[in-house]
């Protein structure tokens, strides 16, 4: 037989494009459209419905960037259409480039009831099936003219459209046709049949019989269609396809659990306020689709997004709640938002689950077991323990498939964290969280699945996200045809829980991956938008203090505990840890608002702290100075979590001029030499008799690199940035300011001012760096070359630290050239180490080198990442003044690094009062056991909650004493402060609670008040 395969396939493509798809709506009639444009920000629905309108015709430009226009749409169903299926096709001016990232709409009835969302590939609204004829159509569409930031077709081009203040007011869209149309369901189904078979055929081997069987059936179907009468002959064409569509899948076919989904970033290329509307549009769309398709299941994550619908679109929320009750609309993930997991601190990461799970429990009576983070930029090694402590055991993500250097070896596996906790983890092999159920995607999932032979199931999140409207009726139709079809993986709608139940039953002993899940991409998100990151870190620290001092004041003085305020502030901070806000990859509008929000929250938290401390200090009009220590370790004679009239030493030694043209700072513990360039050429540990700085090198060295990644400007830094760089050694000013050495430098259009000081009582060099930054596409690093041979180094992560190698033996180590730390990085060799602590930075790199010459010793350089200057999506990223605090701690153990890291982030406070001491509520007799939270229980019972963890990576036996609570009735709880049924009671001894902790173990204690 002659090979006519290409001929038939090309024929199929053209007939679909030019004859069949246009025949889905064989007849139509225009609707009457009028418009009203809101003068500023979006208005309430009632105001939009009541606003005066004017006529607008198709082809008319509308919609300034970030504007809102209300369209009044009216018409009458022709009597001749009686008995037919009729729907409206409402085109706001959608472009075919991408589903989402452009204009969107939400359709309302005149009474304000939402109907469904309008999206680029989902622009229909059903009128009736069948209609009687003569029905009056009267709808309103709330249209948002969000600009398409990549409309030029050139990705990552700098744009001023990312903030309403700079976007201008030129119309962004041209109104398309708004019409009533008859829907020919037979033709529509024929299109679905042919698309599914055509896509499947393209994935089958050319020498296989099934491909040719489908090809011949498609050819017969195309012959059966009269192109002059498509609607009259579509049924005959479908009949020709029935046989190949009925052939069942083979027994060994891969099984795909399809989950309806619409990945909606809580902010990204749009502001937070627009996400509120994106979520309402999508939820309206999905509840409507659920009503029409009984097998369809839709899952939505992020409790914050449900809360937005509840607050801003209660009518939509009522439909969502009913669909949740029916088991069709599935809350998933158990987190407040799909947060970044690298940078949030220990307590913040825990509270993501506390607030997310509690919302789902209170609103729906549901607690899911699945953590849902398809798009997060890598996963910190401390996360498995937090997931388990929140009562969950499963994790789904997809983003690791974006890694550019190494292919992750598993799709289904156990992920083990730093404390040994394990979670059952799945990476969908479909390699997208916006699956369209195309033949290519389903075939890719089956081919790509790495557990073939031992497992057969994977999950596919199906639907357009970020304003694309979620799952479409076309996707549902394709899934129905692929449910059991020869040549394809099988596709079945299932909830995430149902998938995980089956996957675990099928594969009870999967392989184990230990340690962080590092994404070999988007490494620059650890540095971009430094002010957002500082705001996050400062907010976390202030919340720690506010809870501590408010709880202490309540127990000690009866002062009211600010439950409402703390709950609201926590949720706001958690929202801003979303994986495109905290990582710095959103538009200018988002980060401008974030800076404003962090400033407001800081004021509110300072007020809570101040009020609590005044209550504890007594009469603040007189008395002595009381020093409050919020850190979990004592300092300067003040106990952790307490206050004392004994002053905490805070003075620094006075710099003395030296022969190197600079200054010496020596407190008897540490001798620091700053040369005439303002660089640190010596940090000598007197007790160890050891130099910290690598021979012939200088620390406190600012280094500037060009930084233009190949793509994803705000997200990425590519390895080649290290090929070129300059050391900033020219000094503009060098002198003494108070008890510190002051160094000023200029470079490009920027200026740096640094203060270097040494405390009188600590083995620590403190550095404060102020940068007035006006560079573009540059990367600024602060380097510390250390005379330490370290084969690995430690970075703080949630509830512990993670070790990473300093070598690049394999491509896995080479690819990890920029990594995350929280408050410290620690390098050591047996018996001696050095810590670099910080108060606001996350990105860093650690490299090793071997000196030449007689002393071929190994040195280790630690560099903190300070600033970048990408131009997309925010062309003014980080322009302006920034302040950073670092401290170099020679001779440091891991314990020293932990302690100094907390001290740097939780400074002492001083207030005058008549009290001479505030006894801590909580004391722990082991330095490695760190208290991360002291608070009152969220249920407002008045119980005291104490969370602590082992911080050194070793076993620890500690007694926890709590003043003002009944240790005899202490219970171990999960993160939601619920007693752990299988934990048993803690050991109580002499008014305290005795704990034996494994390395990095996290424990939450709940104690009734006495």
Among the residues of 759-853, which ranges form H helices?
811-815
Name the nearest CA neighbour of 744 among 771, 767, 764, 766. 771
Helix (H) or strand (E) holding 514: strand 512-514
Enter the tokens of residue 170. Answer: 């030129």
Q: What is the DSSP string of 858-872?
A: EEEEEEEEEEE---S
Query: Which residues, listed in sequence order, are joined to residue 360 by a DSSP beta bridge?
Result: none
Among the residues of 270-313, which ranges form H helices?
272-292, 303-312
SS3 state of residue 525: helix
Phi, psi of 139 (to 5 degrees): -135, 165
* DSSP assignment letter at 379: B
Looking up tokens 């760190």 gives 930
**Gap between the Cα atoms of 45 and 141, Å rounded:** 10
CB 550 within 8 A of CB 562: yes
Check if 239 is active-site. Answer: no
Query: Which residues, listed in sequence order, are joined to residue 141 by a DSSP beta bridge?
Result: 71, 107
Helix (H) or strand (E) holding 8: helix 5-15
Beta strands in 686-823 (DSSP E): 690-691, 701-706, 726-728, 733-737, 740-747, 750-757, 765-773, 778-786, 792-797, 800-805, 819-820
CB 771 within 8 A of CB 750: yes
Please give the C-alpha separations between residue 362 and each of 304, 354, 367, in angstroms, as whole numbers: 14, 12, 10
The single residue of 193, 368, 369, 375 carrying the catalytic annotation is: 375
Name the nearest CA neighbour of 53 among 72, 73, 40. 72
**Gap between the Cα atoms of 394 and 256, Å rounded:** 18
User: Cα 814–818–822 angle (5° rounding)?
Assistant: 135
Residues contacting residue 732 through CB under 8 Å, at least 6 positions apart: 744, 745, 746, 751
**Gap between the Cα atoms of 690 and 683, Å rounded:** 9
**Gap between the Cα atoms of 384 and 131, Å rounded:** 55
Looking up tokens 């899948």 gives 249
SS3 state of residue 578: strand
Sign of CA dihedral 642, 643, 646, 652: positive
Residues contacting residue 742 through CB under 8 Å, at least 6 positions apart: 733, 734, 735, 736, 753, 754, 755
CB 217 within 8 A of CB 197: yes
Q: What is the DSSP string of 437-485?
A: --HHHHHHHHHH-TTBTTB-EEEEEESB-TTS-BS-HHHHHHHHHTTT-
**Gap between the Cα atoms of 838 and 905, Å rounded:** 8
Name the nearest CA neighbour of 560 among 944, 942, 943, 964. 942
Name the nearest CA neighbour of 713 among 506, 458, 491, 528. 528
**Gap between the Cα atoms of 931 and 928, Å rounded:** 10
Pair type for strands 832-838 and 824-829: antiparallel
Enter the tokens of residue 972. Answer: 């171990």
The C-alpha R_g of the chain, in whole angstroms, comes to 31
Enter the tokens of residue 645. Answer: 């009239």
Burial class (CB within 10 angstroms; exposed 0-12, middle 13-18, buried 19+) of 980: middle
Residues taking part in catalysis: 375
């Amino acid at each position: 037989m002659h090979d006519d395969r290409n001929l038939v396939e090309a024929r199929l493509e053209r007939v679909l494009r030019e004859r069949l798809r246009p025949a889905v709506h064989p007849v139509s009639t225009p609707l009457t459209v009028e418009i009203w444009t809101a003068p500023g920000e979006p208005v309430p629905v009632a105001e939009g419905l009541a606003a005066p309108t004017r006529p607008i015709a198709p082809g008319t430009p509308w919609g300034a960037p970030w504007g809102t226009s209300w369209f009044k749409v009216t018409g009458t169903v022709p009597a001749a259409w009686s008995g037919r299926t009729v729907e409206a096709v409402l085109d706001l001016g959608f472009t075919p480039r991408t589903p989402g990232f452009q204009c969107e709409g939400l359709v309302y009835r005149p009474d304000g009831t939402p109907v469904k969302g309008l999206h680029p590939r989902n622009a229909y609204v059903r009128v009736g099936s069948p209609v009687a004829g003569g029905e009056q159509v009267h709808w309103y569409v709330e249209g948002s003219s969000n600009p398409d930031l990549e409309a030029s077709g050139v990705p990552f081009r700098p744009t001023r459209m990312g903030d309403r203040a700079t976007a201008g007011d030129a119309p962004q869209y041209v109104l398309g046709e708004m019409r009533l149309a008859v829907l020919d369901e037979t033709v529509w189904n024929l299109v679905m049949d042919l698309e599914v078979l055509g896509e499947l055929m393209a994935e089958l081997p050319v020498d296989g019989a099934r491909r040719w069987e489908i090809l011949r059936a498609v050819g017969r179907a195309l012959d059966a269609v009269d192109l002059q009468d498509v609607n009259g002959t579509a049924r005959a064409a479908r009949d020709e396809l029935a046989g190949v569509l009925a052939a069942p899948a083979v027994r060994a076919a891969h099984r795909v659990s399809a989950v309806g989904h619409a990945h909606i970033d809580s902010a990204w290329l749009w502001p937070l306020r627009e996400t509120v509307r994106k979520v309402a549009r999508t939820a309206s769309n999905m509840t409507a689709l659920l009503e029409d398709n009984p097998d369809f299941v839709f899952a939505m994550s992020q409790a914050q997004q449900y809360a937005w619908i509840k607050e801003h679109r209660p009518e939509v929320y009522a439909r969502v709640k009913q669909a949740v009750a029916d088991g069709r609309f599935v809350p998933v993930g158990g987190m407040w938002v799909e947060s970044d997991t690298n940078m949030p601190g220990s307590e913040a990461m825990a509270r993501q689950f506390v607030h997310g799970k509690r919302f789902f429990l209170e609103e729906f009576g549901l607690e899911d077991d699945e953590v849902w983070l398809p798009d997060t930029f890598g996963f910190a090694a401390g996360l498995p323990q937090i997931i388990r402590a929140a009562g969950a055991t499963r994790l789904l993500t997809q983003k690791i498939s974006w890694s550019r250097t190494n292919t992750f070896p598993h799709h289904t596996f156990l992920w083990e964290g730093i404390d040994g906790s394990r979670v059952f983890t799945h990476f969908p092999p479909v390699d997208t969280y916006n699956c369209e159920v195309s033949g290519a995607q389903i075939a890719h999932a089956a081919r790509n699945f790495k557990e073939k032979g031992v497992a057969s199931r994977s999950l596919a999140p199906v639907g357009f996200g970020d304003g694309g409207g979620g799952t479409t009726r076309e996707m549902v139709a394709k899934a129905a045809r692929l449910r059991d079809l020869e040549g394809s993986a099988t596709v079945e709608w299932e909830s995430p829980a149902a998938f995980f139940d089956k996957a675990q039953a099928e594969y009870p002993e999967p392989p184990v991956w230990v340690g962080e899940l590092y994404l070999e991409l988007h490494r620059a998100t650890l540095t971009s938008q430094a002010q957002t990151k500082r705001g996050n870190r400062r907010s976390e620290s202030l919340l720690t203090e506010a809870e501590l001092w408010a709880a202490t004041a309540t127990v000690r003085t009866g002062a009211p505990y600010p439950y409402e305020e703390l709950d609201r502030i926590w949720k706001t901070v958690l929202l801003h840890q979303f994986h495109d806000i905290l990582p710095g990859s959103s538009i200018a509008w988002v980060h401008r608002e974030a800076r404003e929000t962090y400033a407001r929250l800081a004021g509110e938290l300072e007020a809570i702290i101040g009020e609590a401390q005044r209550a504890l200090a007594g009469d603040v009009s007189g008395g002595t100075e009381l020093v409050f220590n919020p850190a979990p370790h004592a300092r300067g004679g003040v106990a952790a979590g307490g206050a004392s009239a004994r002053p905490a030493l805070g003075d620094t030694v006075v710099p003395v001029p030296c022969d190197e043209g600079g200054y010496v700072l020596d407190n008897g513990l540490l001798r620091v030499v700053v040369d005439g360039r303002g660089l640190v050429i010596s940090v000598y540990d007197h007790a160890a008799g050891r130099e910290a700085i690598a021979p012939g090198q200088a620390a406190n060295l600012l280094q500037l690199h060009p930084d233009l990644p190949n793509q994803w400007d705000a997200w990425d830094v590519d390895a080649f940035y290290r090929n070129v760089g300059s050391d900033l050694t020219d000094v503009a000013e060098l002198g003494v300011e108070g008890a510190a050495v002051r160094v000023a430098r200029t470079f490009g259009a920027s200026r740096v001012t640094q203060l270097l000081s040494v405390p009188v009582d600590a083995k620590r060099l403190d550095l404060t760096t102020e940068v007035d930054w006006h560079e573009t596409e540059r990367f600024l690093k602060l380097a510390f070359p250390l005379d330490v041979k370290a084969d690995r180094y430690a970075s703080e992560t949630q509830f512990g630290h993670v070790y990473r190698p300093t070598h690049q033996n394999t491509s896995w180590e080479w690819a990890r050239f920029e990594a995350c730390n929280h408050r410290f990085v620690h390098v050591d060799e047996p018996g001696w180490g050095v810590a670099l602590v910080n108060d606001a930075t996350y990105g860093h790199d650690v490299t090793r080198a071997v000196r030449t010459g007689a002393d071929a010793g190994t040195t280790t350089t630690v560099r903190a990442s300070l600033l970048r200057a990408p131009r997309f999506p925010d062309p003014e990223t980080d322009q302006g003044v920034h302040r950073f605090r670092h401290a170099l701690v020679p001779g440091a153990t891991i314990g020293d690094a932990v302690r100094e890291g907390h001290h740097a982030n939780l400074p002492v406070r001083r207030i005058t009062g008549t009290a001479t001491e505030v006894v801590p509520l909580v004391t722990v007799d082991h330095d490695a056991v760190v208290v991360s939270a002291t608070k009152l229980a969220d249920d407002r019972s008045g119980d005291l909650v104490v969370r602590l963890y082992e911080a050194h990576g070793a076993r620890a036996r500690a007694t926890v004493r709590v003043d003002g609570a009944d240790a005899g009735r202490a219970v171990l709880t999960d993160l939601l402060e619920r007693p752990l049924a299988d934990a048993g009671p803690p050991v109580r001894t002499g008014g305290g609670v005795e704990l034996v902790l494994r390395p990095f173990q996290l424990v939450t204690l709940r104690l009734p008040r006495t």
